[in-house]
Chain A
Amino acid sequence: MWEGRMKQGTVELQPIGSAIFSLYTLGCSSCSGLDRKLKKVTGITEVNVNYVADIVEVKFDPSKIRNDEIRAFLKRIGSDTGQHH
């Protein structure tokens, strides 16, 4: 689970964050191009939209973005597409 980087024989641990958001809750079940939009956000390193489970998994650098900021971003996309519950 740790991101490690070798540096002069020692392992330097890098902080990483990951989150699972419910697309239904965020009103984003049918938001198109979600992975593309998320990948453009600074600090987000990996996106996996699961259409069966109706969730999106995001990996991010917590020194650049917080999970609540990603959540707010998703909620805004849901609102913009008129799907907010």
Chain B
Amino acid sequence: MPNTGTRPNLPAPKNPRPKTVPKSFRIDESALLAVEKEAAAQKVSPNTLVNQILTQFADFERFAKRINTVKPSGFVFRGILDAANVDKIIEVAKTAGSSIPQAFVTAKNGKVDIDSLLDHLRTLSLYAHLYEYSENLDPRGQVATLMHDFGLNWSIFLVHYITAMFEQIGSSPKLEMSDRSVILSLPGK
């Protein structure tokens, strides 16, 4: 059951660096060659690359496939958005925002609150490339900025998606938008 979105009185402990463990797997030789080639091109170890591939699966892909996620190119995505009817964009955003984040966050975090919803926005930036994400935290409040190149219709979608998403926990962040960004402000305690 979602909570009311109330922020805790005390600060959460700082996220520790994720623990790593040794593990052996048998994998296709062609996949290994591809990983080794890409790792060499990026000047990182195959271990780093494999860890990032598996993390992407663990944090995003396994949940994304449950909601039938597709990955159009940025060019195609923007073209579709530019051609779309704004009223329809708002309708889809409200429907999606009131259902998808809850399903995603519950499956991943086991609970729906402000921090897990912000983590959802962060995850969409990390793995779906829907925008660049930044946030500033201080005792006065929390400000998250979503920057993108997909035009005004995408900002309109995001504003309504985020509004619907936070309505599910009884929270109403302040939202501002331009054709390249959406700024979300949550007051501190």
Contact = CB atoms under 8 A, between A and B. Distances in A.
Interface of A: 1-4, 11, 13, 15-22, 24-25, 30, 32-33, 50-55, 57, 62, 67, 71
Interface of B: 10-12, 14, 38-39, 41-44, 48-49, 52-53, 56, 115, 118, 122, 125-127, 129, 132-139, 145, 149
A22 to B, nearest CB: 5
Given A52-B53, A53-B129, A55-B126, 13 more contacts: A1-B11, A2-B11, A3-B14, A16-B136, A17-B136, A21-B132, A30-B41, A51-B39, A51-B48, A51-B49, A52-B52, A52-B56, A67-B136
30 contacts: A1-B115, A1-B118, A2-B11, A2-B137, A3-B11, A3-B14, A13-B138, A15-B136, A15-B139, A16-B136, A17-B134, A17-B137, A18-B135, A20-B132, A20-B134, A21-B132, A22-B129, A24-B129, A25-B149, A30-B41, A32-B43, A33-B43, A51-B44, A51-B49, A51-B52, A52-B49, A52-B56, A53-B52, A53-B129, A54-B129
Closest 7 CB pairs of A and B: A2-B11, A19-B134, A15-B138, A4-B11, A67-B134, A52-B52, A13-B139
A55 B14 contact: no
B73 to A, nearest CB: 11
Contacts of B44: 51
A63 to B, nearest CB: 9
A52 B34 CA distance: 12
Contacts of A55: 125-126, 129
A19 B132 CA distance: 8
Contacts of B122: 20
A1 B37 CA distance: 36
A62 B49 CA distance: 30
A34 to B, nearest CB: 10
Nearest to B142: A1
A22 B10 contact: no
A67 B145 contact: yes
A68 B138 CA distance: 18
A62 B134 CA distance: 11
Contact of A51 (B14, B38, B125, B135): B38
Contacts of A62: 136, 138
Given A13-B139, A51-B52, A52-B56, A2 B12 contact: yes
